[in-house]
Chain A
Amino acid sequence: MSESSATTRRGLLLAAPAVVPVVVVLAGSLGAALLQSVGLMPFAGPATFTLEPWTGNAGELARSAAVSLYIAAASTLLAGTVGFAAAAYILAMPRTGRLVAAVSAATIPIPHLIGAGAVGLLLSDAGFLARILGMPDGGFPTFVGGPFWSAVIFEYAWKESAFVALVIVGSLARSVGGLCDAAATLGAAPLQRITHVVLPLALPALAVSGLIVFVYTLGSYEVPWLLGRISPEALPVRAVRLFGSIDLDSRPQAMVTVLLSVLAGAAAIIGGLILLRRMRGLR
């Protein structure tokens, strides 16, 4: 009894230097954002409690939230699909798989800002792709700033699929080879091996990395700012615009936008964890 509590205490002490600063910073900043959003910590003037920033722009906030959720969902879906396919290829093919693994590993260190700039240069109306295809004067579909945020989703899907692929490969590499061979000797076709052996084994890693990708793209700023439309805008873009506005009265609205983004992310995390636990319960 005392030994397990001693180990717990030791474990907590070891984790404390990492956890305590995170909790302090998060609690402090979220608390400050909450206070500013209800007018209790104004930039100038007396502190008066008011829920106006929360209720005043409901329509705009709802549109921005919808845009953020759409971009996050589409990016996660694409990144998960492409990432899983890449992981299956890496595990199945020993030599060319290593090439794909190297390309995935090279994609990860690229910052999203650089990636967004590159995608912008590639897919804009007078960009690289448009010039190669010989149509700089119209006719090229609108990816950057287009109606479906296609350039934004493409950038996220590209970068995050590499992340998903490497997470899945890392969690599977050891176990999958033998099981796939066993399935082959039992007469399974290659596609059946993927859907009945690799996919179920990869599901926890896929789910966790998918959750990470979803929450990350929900709060990411640079890509929708560089490659997205002016209106409606994603939650982080709206927050930064209002925060940097010359009108200091916009500050509470910026805090509301940020907190909404945090709430959406928290809801996604909780929902995702519940789903994961249920998945583990079924196996």
Chain B
Amino acid sequence: MEYTDPDDPLLTHDFGVPVDGCEAPWHKAQFTYVYNSEAIADPPTSLDGILEWAEENPGRFTYPAPPDFTGSVFLREVLLSTAGGADEVPQTFSQEAFDRLAPAAIQKLEELEPSLWREGRTYPRDEQALNRLFANGEVDMTMTYGPARLTDLVESGALPESTEILPLKEGTVGNASFLAIPANASDAAGAMVVANLALSPEQQAAKANPEVWGQFPVLDMDRLSADQRQLFKELPSSDVVPPYEVLSRNAHGELAAEWVTPLDQAWRQDVASGR
């Protein structure tokens, strides 16, 4: 933990719950929108712009159905957008905040429905199904928590070559994955050694290599020695995915986990079964 920044908001809270040293950070993820540059000449730069583009190009946009993780986070992003920004929504859940802010987001998605793929009568089951629609050219945009995989997918031909990341002016949500040790673990000491290994600069650099896994590191570059920093500088760059600093510009943290289920349920009741 000596190489991580103790004030990094992505590492101090895990979906709204203070970490308090109960978990060890592993890697970071950034929710990213992806578009087909051949189909969209002038890409939007905000979530509002994306939804406007969807309405102007009916049938070319959709999102995975919650409770899929990616669909669920898209819901929360729309919530933040209709509320007026990430600062307007309290991170901790309260029924009062939900009743005040959620209806606008649900209404926005209901209004969007007729312009979606298949007019919103059904949605892709999960992120893989959405990626398949994108690869087949049925929609022009997709979204993912793991943009580093895109390099591999474009190289192997699974995604079209004109695939590009769509950075948003207001930023998107980012989070970190953690390693935890169960209370009844038979070898807690050994597990802690593994967790330390996972935090070592060598492991983090190897993991960040797009040819290996491409997961963003949790380490603070200022706390590394010059040699260790060199490991990260030598990582191959990708034509498709810009570096993490660009992707995570203006990133905001995740809402508390208690927000997830009520939003997903409201979506299923009002948006999915509406027609």
Q: Which residues of A contact B (CB under 8 A)?
A: 60, 63, 125-126, 136, 138, 142, 145-147, 225-226, 229-232, 241, 245-247, 250
Given A126-B136, A136-B137, decide whether A231 and B268 contact each other with a Cβ distance below 8 A. yes
Given A125-B136, A126-B136, A246-B67, 18 additional A-B pairs, CB 8 A: A63-B273, A125-B138, A126-B133, A126-B137, A126-B138, A145-B118, A225-B125, A229-B122, A230-B65, A230-B272, A231-B272, A241-B67, A245-B67, A245-B261, A246-B260, A246-B261, A247-B261, A250-B261
Contacts of B133 in A (CB 8 A): 126
Nearest-neighbor residue (CB-CB) of A250 within chain B:
B261
CA distance A63 to B272 in the complex (A): 13
Q: Which residues of B contact A (CB under 8 A)?
A: 59, 65, 67, 118, 121-123, 125, 133, 136-138, 257, 260-261, 268, 272-273
Contacts of A229 in B (CB 8 A): 121-122
Query: Contact between A145 and B122 (Cβ–Cβ < 8 Å)?
Result: yes
Given A142-B118, A247-B261, decide whether A230 and B136 contact each other with a Cβ distance below 8 A. no
- 21 A–B contacts from the bound complex (CB under 8 Å): A63-B273, A125-B136, A125-B138, A126-B138, A136-B136, A138-B59, A145-B118, A145-B122, A146-B122, A226-B125, A229-B121, A229-B122, A230-B123, A231-B65, A231-B122, A245-B261, A246-B67, A246-B257, A246-B261, A247-B261, A250-B261
Contacts of B121 in A (CB 8 A): 145, 147, 229
Most-contacted residue by chain B among A145, A230, A232 (CB, 10 A): A230
Nearest-neighbor residue (CB-CB) of B135 within chain A:
A126
Query: Contact between A232 and B273 (Cβ–Cβ < 8 Å)?
Result: yes
Contacts of A250 in B (CB 8 A): 261
Majority DSSP secondary structure for residues of B touching A: loop
CA distance A63 to B59 in the complex (A): 27
Give me the 7 closest cross-chain CB pairs, A-B, nearest first: A126-B136, A231-B272, A247-B261, A145-B122, A229-B122, A230-B65, A231-B273
CA distance A232 to B122 in the complex (A): 10
Contacts of B260 in A (CB 8 A): 246-247
CA distance A147 to B257 in the complex (A): 33
Contacts of A232 in B (CB 8 A): 273
CA distance A126 to B121 in the complex (A): 18
Most-contacted residue by chain A among B122, B133, B137 (CB, 10 A): B122
Contacts of B67 in A (CB 8 A): 241, 245-246
Query: Contact between B137 and A230 (Cβ–Cβ < 8 Å)?
Result: no
Nearest-neighbor residue (CB-CB) of A145 within chain B:
B122
Contacts of B118 in A (CB 8 A): 142, 145
Contacts of B257 in A (CB 8 A): 246
CA distance A250 to B122 in the complex (A): 23
CA distance A203 to B260 in the complex (A): 53
CA distance A231 to B133 in the complex (A): 19
CA distance A126 to B125 in the complex (A): 16
Contacts of A145 in B (CB 8 A): 118, 121-122
Query: Contact between A230 and B122 (Cβ–Cβ < 8 Å)?
Result: yes
CA distance A250 to B260 in the complex (A): 13
CA distance A24 to B136 in the complex (A): 49
CA distance A125 to B129 in the complex (A): 12
Nearest-neighbor residue (CB-CB) of B72 within chain A:
A246
CA distance A281 to B205 in the complex (A): 77
Contacts of B65 in A (CB 8 A): 230-231
Contacts of B123 in A (CB 8 A): 230
CA distance A241 to B260 in the complex (A): 15
Given A126-B136, A136-B137, A246-B67, decide whether A230 and B261 contact each other with a Cβ distance below 8 A. no
CA distance A246 to B136 in the complex (A): 31
Nearest-neighbor residue (CB-CB) of B65 within chain A:
A230
Contacts of A241 in B (CB 8 A): 67
CA distance A245 to B66 in the complex (A): 11
Nearest-neighbor residue (CB-CB) of B257 within chain A:
A246
Shortest distance from the beta carbon of A222 to any chain B beta carbon, whole Å: 12
Nearest-neighbor residue (CB-CB) of B117 within chain A:
A125
Contacts of B273 in A (CB 8 A): 60, 63, 231-232
Nearest-neighbor residue (CB-CB) of B262 within chain A:
A247
Shortest distance from the beta carbon of A44 to any chain B beta carbon, whole Å: 14
